[in-house]
Amino acid sequence: MFQDVNPLQLISDVGIANLATNLLIGIVYFFSFGYLMRVVYSHHYKQSITWTDTFLLPFMMHLWTYILPAKGGLIYQTFFVKAKYQIDMSKGFSVGVLVFAASLLITCLVGGVLSFQLLDVLALQLLLIAMFGTLVFFLVAGQLVKEPSIVKPGIIHALIRFVQNVLIQFRDQTKDSKLLGKVVAVTVVSTGIHSVWFYHSAVILGYDPDPIGIVLATLVLRIITLVRVVPGNLGVQEIMTGSVFLAAGLGLDEGLMTGLLIRLMSVLLAGTFGAAGLYSNFRYFGTDSLKSLFFKLNSSKQS
């Protein structure tokens, strides 16, 4: 893709006005994700995150997906709320699990309905069933886990306690019907904005996508792109995008090009708002540079 496509030529062909609109949609989408986390922290943990952090945190998280390959965004979010708002790390991590579970729920329900509106989408339907199984696993694990009565020393036992605490927090969150209602509602809106972003990207590239196919592809991509094997899933995410678009009845080339445009816009937003947010919050981590922050988070992650 990057050998055959000149990004500058691509931007030139699309036009400045279309790119500005596309960027605006991307900003609104990132903000919706920040607002979702704000809802969870304020409702369940009674901790209000500033509107500035509500706006900047998703961009900072996205930037960290390029710095730490495995769950860089979630790791940064967990350490960020711990350093700045003194929220326990297991609570911060559990918020990520809850957001993931809400996305799974919306994907399985809405995606399952939409899949019957398209032809030859058996592969996606099987994937949706597997996703539903993952959601059931989280719910069952949350119900079965018990808080350890004896605290044992050692890294392994500390990791086990952390996982137990995350699942306990997740169980408590799922028992709060008002919180679940808010999370599902915001997730639906966020998913809609994300779908509009993909649809607009495809249209300004000159394609004529099926709106139902776009929504179905977006729902599935929101889940499978969370599996990151290289920094930012560079290349991998574009292949996933093209494959899902193909399975949803769209063209492989259309999916690849749309994924590439989304990538360019996301990197631009993360490189501006995300970098600005990082710089303004270095002091909360007891550091003054990205390099020292990277080593601090990376060492804490490994330990």
pLDDT tens digits, one per residue of 126-135: 777 877 887 7
Which range among 157-166, 178-187, 237-246 has the greatest average pLDDT? Answer: 178-187
- Residue 42 banded pLDDT, cuts 50, 70, 90: confident
- Residue 58 banded pLDDT, cuts 50, 70, 90: very high
The whole-chain average pLDDT of the chain stands at 79
| Rounded (10°) angle between helices 16-44 and 51-64 | 110
Tell me if residue 68 falls in helix, strand or coil. Answer: coil
Lowest model confidence (mean pLDDT) among 16-25, 61-70, 274-283, 294-303: 294-303
**Residue 35: its pLDDT value, please?**
93
**Residue 131: its pLDDT value, please?**
76
**Residue 95: its pLDDT value, please?**
82
276 vs 298, more confident: 276
Considering only CA atoms, which of 237, 286, 239 is closest in space to residue 266?
Answer: 237
| ∠ Cα 103 104 107 (to 5°) | 85
**Rounded-to-integer distance, Cα 148 and Cα 26, Å:** 43
**Residue 151: its pLDDT value, please?**
61
**Rounded-to-integer distance, Cα 220 and Cα 101, Å:** 13
Lowest model confidence (mean pLDDT) among 33-37, 50-54, 62-66, 162-166: 162-166
- Residue 18 banded pLDDT, cuts 50, 70, 90: very high
Domain boundaries, the chain: 7-297
- Residue 211 banded pLDDT, cuts 50, 70, 90: confident
Contact 63, 275 (CB under 8 A): yes
Give the other-Cβ count within 10 Å of 12's Cβ. 11
Contact 167, 145 (CB under 8 A): yes
Contact 256, 242 (CB under 8 A): yes
**Residue 235: its pLDDT value, please?**
63
Tokens of 8: 């500058």
278 vs 249, more confident: 278
pLDDT for residue 123 is more than 70: no
Q: In terms of DSSP H, where are the helices of 145-251?
A: 155-174, 177-204, 211-224, 236-247
The separation between CA 49 and the C-alpha centre of its own chain, rounded to angstroms, equals 19
Tokens of 156: 């392994």
Which range among 81-85, 143-147, 233-237, 294-298 has the greatest average pLDDT? Answer: 81-85
Q: Give pLDDT tens digits for 217-276.
A: 787 777 666 555 556 566 666 676 666 776 666 677 777 788 888 888 998 999 999 999
- Residue 60 banded pLDDT, cuts 50, 70, 90: very high
